[in-house]
Chains A and B, each alone.
Chain A
Amino acid sequence: MADGQPQLDLSPKVSDEVRKTTCYMCACRCGINVHMKDGKVAYIEGNRDHPVNKGVLCAKGSAGIMQVNAPSRLKKPLKRVGPRGSGEYEEISWEEAMSTAVGWLTELHETAPHKLAFFTGRDQSQSFTSFWAQHFGTPNYAAHGGFCSVNMAAAGIYTMGGAFWEFGQPDWDHTKLFMIFGVAEDHDSNPIKAGIGKIKANGAKVIGVNPVRSGYNAVADEWVGITPGTDGLFILALIHELMKAGKIDLHYLAQYTNAAVLVDAETGLLLRDVDGKQLVIDRTTGKPTPFDQKGARPDLSATYRQAGVTHHTVMHLMAEKYLDPQYAPENVAEKTGISAQKIKTIAAELARVAFDEAFELDQEWTDFRGETHKTMTGRPVSFHAMRGISAHSNGFQTCRALHVLQILLGTVEVPGGFRFKPPYPKPVEAHPTPHGYGRPGKPLAGPHLGFPRGPEDLQINEDGSACRIDKAFTWENPMSVHGLMHMVISNAHAQDPYPIDTLFMYMANMSWNSSMNTSGVIKMLTDRNDDGGYRIPRIIYSDAYSSEMVAYADLILPDTTYLERHDCISLLDRPICEADGAADAIRWPVIEPDRDVRGFQSVLIELGARIGLPHFLNEDGTPKWKDYADYIVNHERRPGVGPLAGFRGEDGDQFGRGTVNPEQLDKYIENGGFAIEHVPDAARYMKPWNQDYQDWAVKIGLFDAPQPYLFQLYVEPMRKFQRAAEGHGDIQPPDHMRDRLKEVMDPLPIWYAPLEDSSVDPDEFDVHALTQRPMAMYHSWGTQNAWLRQLHGENPLYLPTKLWQKHSFSEGDWARVTSVHGEITVPVAHQAALNENTVWTWNAIGKRKGTWALSEDAPESNTGFLLNHLIHELLPPKGDGLRWANSDPITGQAAWFDLRVKIEKADPPTESQPAFDPIKSPVPQGPDHLEWKVGR
């Protein structure tokens, strides 16, 4: 020790104990080590053994400690005593809360289950909440996918049996070129950050397609600052160039996709044999052959003449479509804002890396036709995409186009390309169809949400009215596989298709940032009938925190924080798998609540039993499960298959399939909160066609029989809807829908301008407006975290240089931003690396006064603002007497990013406009200083 230096304790005790659980600060589900001191949470870090984050942790995760001490935590069940929206509540006992809820719900269950609308927001227990709703018998259940990700999920599953988001990942070890479209830094964020770091270290290049150059796009080698809503057109131009140059993977297309499948020239449906198998022409025999016949060499260029009609392959139709000059780079440059030169360069680079840098992985494997291959061919180009392309009204077709692009390059499920994570790949045929039409007192015949194969799966009544309150699975959005949470309040208020009695929601801030048209939704929630009763008679809401939505509910069921609860992140819905392994995880109470709150899922279990839902009771009428933990361990969805795959069987040594193991949760805790089963080496790639993978997937219970399939470049269910619009079949759309359906339900990807462009004047509203989540914040998922809000307590509207200069803005200025629907006045800031016609801001920083235990002078409720006020759930009237939804016409995905605005300089108001009256807070305001140190 040097002279004068103090003696330091270089090995202080870190904690008394480390408890390993799963993070819930966003949707990533990273493993965390919760360091405990004196029984309290002292420090949170990433779990090195965890398959998702491998030790790293983002800002949100590390700030979890401020989430469990948050002053905004609700403390007891609440009963509304003032008018809705006033925030006037009375604390009540759980017994009173449960009796009230049971009273309301039992009557509905027995008389009119559809009058319950149960929507669960950012729920991570959807396989359970949907199970509950199914057994309640209401058709009105969904989570928040309809306003979040459905375009991505649906397009991926219909096209290739799996999607981006967190359901797949690039082959980080081998990829040389990674191209991202509209990727926000929220879902799967730590794995993607880690992956980008890894591939950069390997010398790979990143192309970022995004109007905003931030986050991943900031580190991208090439930035494509595309005009919002035109990604599909850009992708089709890439496809045009690649096809024209013959830079497509013919072997891959012939063997593993429906490019060689014959399309019936008269119906547009795929030709099939008597067993229903899609037919190809075998290049060896020249004869029609089932696609999966051993030794078949499907002929991409075949024609098949039968009964005087010549049928062509999908590839033939694609050539006719995509070689059309409308997709030439020169013809899309202006719309996309990308020069023809740049489009060609990118196409060429994709081709170069996919084909010139192709490699063979020394791994023998056997395909589904029984042919054994000595190696696996790697094409080191990978893609990823997220909300930037999916939250447009053309998002489904854009996502489809991107999948077709990567399939043409032969880069899906090959080394170096995009890889699925179990339980994907999983073809549409392995998914359920939608179910509705409950009978009082009876469960639905199957899950609410599924994948329609054609008009016969729509959820419409004989009179053409919608079965579901959100009008999912109707002609307005036939393939709305996640439901339309954003339409529930609006439709319930309009009593269209029918009035409901009780709206029951969980973790969804519908009176604020989770709704389009926030002011309108607030009005709908508070609107009354002539008799003085509320238009939406009863609202039950569960949340852990004092969110904006709390003030609009009649009964509040306070949830726990994520460290105080049981959860399972299950293979039955959204597990934590990696491409090389099937994995799931739990949360468990690493601390006990210090308030009178209960985990929402345990509350649902008790509600289910007390209402008398058959599956929630034993034969003797006693509750089947005492709480959610009990359900997680003991529920079996299929024999031997339950919510958790790990540690099943008597000895706890089985994965996937096995009898119930009462010690299962203890085993998970012992193992760090998760279980993983690695994919065998020979099964790691080519999964949809790989016998080893198929057998492994059956073994661990992902499915019950091997189900190899072809990627669907041509999506036949879409053709069925399109064909119905052309007048074929018994189930017919209303006439006013026909033209739109004929256009958008194209079975091959197309691009059309975002719908808002055709209903507002693009010259007047000449600016695109977007939001994105900051990486260090996850809007109202949790509370306004004391540490994180210091990073993002305000949200300027970022303007590109062109607009900044045009309106002579300078720092500290404000702008009035007007859409066809509304107007906001907000602070502005300059960003040069931004598409020149686009403005954007951080999502959901703006808060309402009186919420989240913030002081009323908090920046979030003064300069902070929401863009939501500018967006409506309906498009403006077009004069046809109809109001069209501001959604993707295929899936109903909320078209948040279609928004067009105009901008002018404004005198600075005292606070962002519109401003709302404060809500009376159900919790005391937070402390005015923090010196948080456990065990000090």
Chain B
Amino acid sequence: MHPAPSVIVFSTLSGLGFGLLFWLGIDTNPPTGLPAFIFFAVAYALSVGGLISSTFHLGHPERAWRAFTQWRSSWLSREGVSAVFALLTMGIYAIDLIFLQIHATALGLIGAALALFTVFTTSMIYAQLDTVPRWKTPFTPALYLSLSLAGGALLSGRVNMAILLLVIAAIFQFIWWQRGDAALSDSGTDLGTATGLGERGTVRSMAHPHTAPNYLVKEFIFVIGRKHAQKLRRIAFGLTFVLPIICLLLPFSHVLAIIAVLSHVAGVATSRWLFFAEAEHVVGLYYGMR
């Protein structure tokens, strides 16, 4: 799949933002006043910024409001609706904390649930797709949720929780990659089933329908060398999990905390790039590519 920058930025940032909102929402003793403002500002900057970024790849962003209408069937629509409800709920919750020093516990819990659900809907946009076997797994929501929660914990300064969640997310990430590499071949879909000619022999694409790349080729077929991918995976893993955990295990300093956060964000962004770049859409089979 084409790793569109807008979608990578979106899913990385909004995952963190909604993760932070989650922790703020369930906090039994949340910050108030200016500290609350700073925390919520960061959370909203990430989540709203991510959402805005996601509209950049739309053909008609001015019609984006229509995406709220199909929540009954569409995960993308649900994501939009859920994000808006989460942001509205947490907005009221935040205003209460910042300006009124009121901790509306129930509102916070509802907002936290909505924030987490938003991340879940994002993950389900991918996990629902039979067409991308690498994504079609419960591990995709598990990975998205654990990363979001770990990132949120990291941003909100919950050191122990962050370490625990980073370890859990690292495990999901590892499993996800391992499973993903075999997903297409395990899916049972190949050029034989794609053409229905597989029982007659080995099917091979001899010529594409068009000699220059088209939308399908550009959108669905992104070839990344395996060696290159392995290197990027190691980088992503180190940045997302290893370096932040080391920083957190060391005696606390603001510099280390900032390093941990930046490293984590860069790591997630890298793994999100790989999330798309390594994903093989079955349309690629028709082109004899993956």
The answer to whether A and B touch directly, with their CB atoms under 8 angstroms apart, is yes
Q: Which of A790, A829, A831, A832 contacts B210 (CB 8 A)?
A: A790
Interface residues of B in 240-261 (CB under 8 A from A): none
Q: Which of B204, B207, B214 contacts A832 (CB 8 A)?
A: B204
Contacts of A829 in B (CB 8 A): 206-207
Q: Does B188 contact A (CB under 8 A)?
A: no
Give CA–CA (A427, B211) in the complex, Å. Answer: 46
Interface residues of A in 749-793 (CB under 8 A from B): 790-793
Chain A: which residue is nearest B214 at the CB level?
Answer: A790
Interface 1/0 per residue, B206-240 and A, CB below 8 Å = 11011110100000000000000000000000000
Q: Does A794 contact B (CB under 8 A)?
A: yes
> Which interface class (under 10, 10 to 19, 20 to 34, 35 or more) fits A?
10 to 19
Give CA–CA (A356, B260) in the complex, Å. Answer: 87
Q: Does A232 contact B (CB under 8 A)?
A: no
Contacts of A830 in B (CB 8 A): 206
Q: Which of B204, B206, B211 contacts A791 (CB 8 A)?
A: B211
Are A859 and B211 within 8 A (Cβ)?
Answer: yes
Q: In this complex, which of B204, B210, B211, B212 has the most chain A Cβ atoms within 10 angstroms of its Cβ?
A: B211
Are A831 and B206 within 8 A (Cβ)?
Answer: yes
Interface 1/0 per residue, A871-908 and B, CB below 8 Å = 00000000000000000000000000000000000000
Chain B nearest Cβ from A277, distance in angstroms: 56
Q: Which of A831, A832, A859 contacts B212 (CB 8 A)?
A: A859
Are B212 and A790 within 8 A (Cβ)?
Answer: yes
Contacts of B206 in A (CB 8 A): 829-832
Chain A: which residue is nearest B210 at the CB level?
Answer: A790
Are B204 and A794 within 8 A (Cβ)?
Answer: no
Contacts of B204 in A (CB 8 A): 832
Chain A: which residue is nearest B208 at the CB level?
Answer: A791
How many cross-chain pairs have Cβ atoms below 8 Å apart between A and B?
21
Give CA–CA (A791, B207) in the complex, Å. Answer: 10
Give CA–CA (A794, B210) in the complex, Å. Answer: 9
Chain A nearest Cβ from B236, distance in angstroms: 28
Chain B nearest Cβ from A852, distance in angstroms: 16
Give CA–CA (A50, B212) in the complex, Å. Answer: 35
Contacts of A832 in B (CB 8 A): 204, 206
Chain B nearest Cβ from A912, distance in angstroms: 14
Give CA–CA (A159, B29) in the complex, Å. Answer: 103
Chain A nearest Cβ from B90, distance in angstroms: 32
Contacts of B210 in A (CB 8 A): 790-791, 793
Give CA–CA (A832, B202) in the complex, Å. Answer: 11
Contacts of B214 in A (CB 8 A): 790
Chain B nearest Cβ from A214, distance in angstroms: 9
Give CA–CA (A792, B207) in the complex, Å. Answer: 10
Interface 1/0 per residue, A74-89 and B, CB below 8 Å = 0000000000000000
Chain B: which residue is nearest A795 at the CB level?
Answer: B211
Give CA–CA (A342, B209) in the complex, Å. Answer: 33
Q: Decide if the interface of chain B is mainly helix, strand, loop or mixed.
A: loop
Contacts of B212 in A (CB 8 A): 790, 793-794, 859
Chain A nearest Cβ from B71, distance in angstroms: 14
Contacts of A790 in B (CB 8 A): 210-212, 214
Q: In this complex, which of B206, B210, B214 has the most chain A Cβ atoms within 10 angstroms of its Cβ?
A: B206
Interface residues of B in 177-219 (CB under 8 A from A): 204, 206-207, 209-212, 214
Give CA–CA (A791, B211) in the complex, Å. Answer: 6
Chain A nearest Cβ from B217, distance in angstroms: 12
Contacts of A793 in B (CB 8 A): 210-212
Interface 1/0 per residue, A811-849 and B, CB below 8 Å = 000000000000000000111100000000000000000
Give CA–CA (A831, B206) in the complex, Å. Answer: 6
Chain B nearest Cβ from A766, distance in angstroms: 24
Contacts of B207 in A (CB 8 A): 829
Give CA–CA (A832, B203) in the complex, Å. Answer: 11
Contacts of B211 in A (CB 8 A): 790-794, 859
Interface residues of A in 614-642 (CB under 8 A from B): none
Contacts of A792 in B (CB 8 A): 211
Chain A: which residue is nearest B289 at the CB level?
Answer: A811
Contacts of A831 in B (CB 8 A): 206
Give CA–CA (A830, B204) in the complex, Å. Answer: 10
Contacts of A794 in B (CB 8 A): 211-212
Interface 1/0 per residue, A175-200 and B, CB below 8 Å = 00000000000000000000000000
Give CA–CA (A831, B214) in the complex, Å. Answer: 23
Chain A: which residue is nearest B206 at the CB level?
Answer: A831
Chain B nearest Cβ from A62, distance in angstroms: 16
Give CA–CA (A714, B141) in the complex, Å. Answer: 82
Chain B nearest Cβ from A659, distance in angstroms: 53
Chain B: which residue is nearest A831 at the CB level?
Answer: B206
Chain B: which residue is nearest A794 at the CB level?
Answer: B211
Give CA–CA (A843, B214) in the complex, Å. Answer: 23
Chain A nearest Cβ from B174, distance in angstroms: 32
Interface residues of B in 40-81 (CB under 8 A from A): none
Chain A nearest Cβ from B179, distance in angstroms: 28
Chain A nearest Cβ from B223, distance in angstroms: 11
Give CA–CA (A829, B214) in the complex, Å. Answer: 20
Interface 1/0 per residue, A245-262 and B, CB below 8 Å = 000000000000000000
Chain B nearest Cβ from A144, distance in angstroms: 27
Chain A: which residue is nearest B288 at the CB level?
Answer: A811
Chain A: which residue is nearest B69 at the CB level?
Answer: A4
Interface residues of B in 99-114 (CB under 8 A from A): none
Give CA–CA (A830, B210) in the complex, Å. Answer: 17
Q: In this complex, which of A791, A793, A829, A830 has the most chain B Cβ atoms within 10 angstroms of its Cβ?
A: A791
Give CA–CA (A830, B288) in the complex, Å. Answer: 13
Chain B: which residue is nearest A790 at the CB level?
Answer: B210
Interface residues of A in 641-669 (CB under 8 A from B): none
Interface 1/0 per residue, B103-136 and A, CB below 8 Å = 0000000000000000000000000000000000
Give CA–CA (A830, B212) in the complex, Å. Answer: 18
Chain A: which residue is nearest B202 at the CB level?
Answer: A832
Chain B nearest Cβ from A529, distance in angstroms: 43
Give CA–CA (A793, B210) in the complex, Å. Answer: 8
Give CA–CA (A832, B210) in the complex, Å. Answer: 20
Contacts of A859 in B (CB 8 A): 211-212
Chain A: which residue is nearest B209 at the CB level?
Answer: A791
Chain B nearest Cβ from A26, distance in angstroms: 20
Give CA–CA (A792, B214) in the complex, Å. Answer: 13
Give CA–CA (A434, B204) in the complex, Å. Answer: 53
Give CA–CA (A398, B77) in the complex, Å. Answer: 68
Interface residues of A in 857-872 (CB under 8 A from B): 859
Chain A nearest Cβ from B89, distance in angstroms: 29
Chain A nearest Cβ from B20, distance in angstroms: 38
Chain A nearest Cβ from B240, distance in angstroms: 34
Contacts of B209 in A (CB 8 A): 791
Give CA–CA (A793, B206) in the complex, Å. Answer: 16
Give CA–CA (A189, B136) in the complex, Å. Answer: 46
Give CA–CA (A793, B211) in the complex, Å. Answer: 6
Give CA–CA (A832, B209) in the complex, Å. Answer: 18
Chain B nearest Cβ from A773, distance in angstroms: 15
Chain A nearest Cβ from B199, distance in angstroms: 18
Give CA–CA (A407, B206) in the complex, Å. Answer: 39
Give CA–CA (A700, B206) in the complex, Å. Answer: 50
Interface 1/0 per residue, B82-94 and A, CB below 8 Å = 0000000000000
Chain B: which residue is nearest A791 at the CB level?
Answer: B210
Give CA–CA (A888, B272) in the complex, Å. Answer: 65
17 A-B contact pairs sorted by A residue (CB < 8 Å)? A790-B211, A790-B212, A790-B214, A791-B209, A791-B210, A791-B211, A792-B211, A793-B210, A793-B212, A794-B211, A794-B212, A829-B206, A829-B207, A830-B206, A831-B206, A832-B204, A859-B212
Top 8 nearest A-B pairs (CB, nearest first) are A794-B211, A793-B211, A790-B210, A793-B212, A791-B210, A831-B206, A792-B211, A790-B212
Interface residues of B (CB under 8 A from A): 204, 206-207, 209-212, 214
Interface residues of A (CB under 8 A from B): 790-794, 829-832, 859
Q: What 19 additional pairs, Cβ within 8 angstroms, besides A790-B214, A793-B212? A: A790-B210, A790-B211, A790-B212, A791-B209, A791-B210, A791-B211, A792-B211, A793-B210, A793-B211, A794-B211, A794-B212, A829-B206, A829-B207, A830-B206, A831-B206, A832-B204, A832-B206, A859-B211, A859-B212
